[in-house]
Amino acid sequence: MSVRVTTCVGPAVTPHRDDLARLRIAVFRDWPYLYEGDLDHERRYLAAYANSPRSVFVLALDGDAVIGASSGIPLGDDGEAFQAPFRTRGMAVDEVCYFGESVLLRDYRGQGIGHTFFDEREAHARRLGGFAWTAFCALERDADDPRCPPAYRPNDAFWAKRGYRRQDDLFCTLWWTEPDAASERRRKNRPPTASVAKRPCRRRAAGKSGSLGSPNSPDLPPTHLVTNAWRRSRYGARIFSASECAHRLRFWLRPLDA
């Protein structure tokens, strides 16, 4: 397989929108993300990037197929949920270039494409100019979560080697629907386990499914799993379906010219 990497700035990503949506849904279905993909949400998310002329998508292509992608956007052009933690800390939002995510199909991993994604996005930030920091956020899961596959290898060492440092006081909370236990078992053809079936945020949806992305919350319950009553007390009745779970993401930062 021969992979080529190309960079799309701003609206240039639009022709790839549906391929990217499918890729994100496929990769983020797995641990640790467990994201029950929603094409409409994906299209809105990608449109927000395409609407910023300073955003970037680094695409990895095998022939015409998009097999990997990585995104970046000036934090000032991104949503309030991502900006607020930086403001609270007293950092200038305009000095941060935010990296959205990297996704690569499993068969193409371990060949250096993940490093290329960082190289290209950091180069884009330098070309734009004016940034002191590059940043991204990473999902945190309970260390004893029974859904973690035995062979799972976290990315922390990779990120640390690239000069990124985990920030204890910078995090945001996003909400998304996780696949329910029964559909995951069918997908993976695995027998049920009691601990997975019992997890409260894996309930079936009541009403329409919700969207990824929400306000920040400094005080999630310890397990990061919340009840509807807790959600209402915190956010009011407006937003979340019963199937959505709160997910805490921690920011990692690196000085751009370090």
Ligand X SMILES: CC(C)(COP(=O)(O)OP(=O)(O)OC[C@H]1O[C@@H](n2cnc3c(N)ncnc32)[C@H](O)[C@@H]1OP(=O)(O)O)[C@@H](O)C(=O)NCCC(=O)NCCS
Q: How far is the CB of 251 from ligand X (least distance, A)?
A: 13
| Closer CB to ligand X, 91 or 104, in the complex | 104
Q: Which of 128, 191, 153 is nearest to 32 (CA)?
A: 153
Residue selected from 7, 14, 52, 155 as contacting ligand X according to rule CB under 6 A = 155
Q: How far is the CB of 100 from ligand X (least distance, A)?
A: 8
Q: How far is the CB of 164 from ligand X (least distance, A)?
A: 11
| Closer CB to ligand X, 234 or 250, in the complex | 250
CA distance 220 to 235: 12
CA distance 232 to 251: 26
Q: In the bound complex, which residue of the shown chain has the CB atom lying closest to ligand X?
A: 114
Residue selected from 156, 158, 160, 195 as contacting ligand X according to rule CB under 6 A = 158
| Closer CB to ligand X, 62 or 94, in the complex | 62
Size of residue set near ligand X by CB under 6 A: 16
- For the chain, give the number of residues: 258
Q: How far is the CB of 224 from ligand X (least distance, A)?
A: 17
CA distance 129 to 123: 10
Q: How far is the CB of 233 from ligand X (least distance, A)?
A: 31
- List beta partners, residue 103: 69
Q: How far is the CB of 47 from ligand X (least distance, A)?
A: 19
| Closer CB to ligand X, 120 or 231, in the complex | 120
Distance (Å) of CA 239 to CA 53, 214, 222: 30, 9, 22
The contact mask relative to ligand X for 49-78 (x = CB under 6 A, - = no) is: ------------------------------
Q: Which of 186, 232, 178 is nearest to 205 (CA)?
A: 178
Half-sphere exposure (Cβ direction) of 136: Cα atoms closer than 13 Å: 21
Identify residues 95-154 at the interface with ligand X (CB under 6 A).
Answer: 101-104, 109-115, 153
CA distance 86 to 251: 10
Give the DSSP letter string of 203-233. PPP-SS---S-----S---TTS---HHHHHH
Give contact residues for ligand X (rule: CB under 6 A).
27, 101-104, 109-115, 153, 155, 158, 161
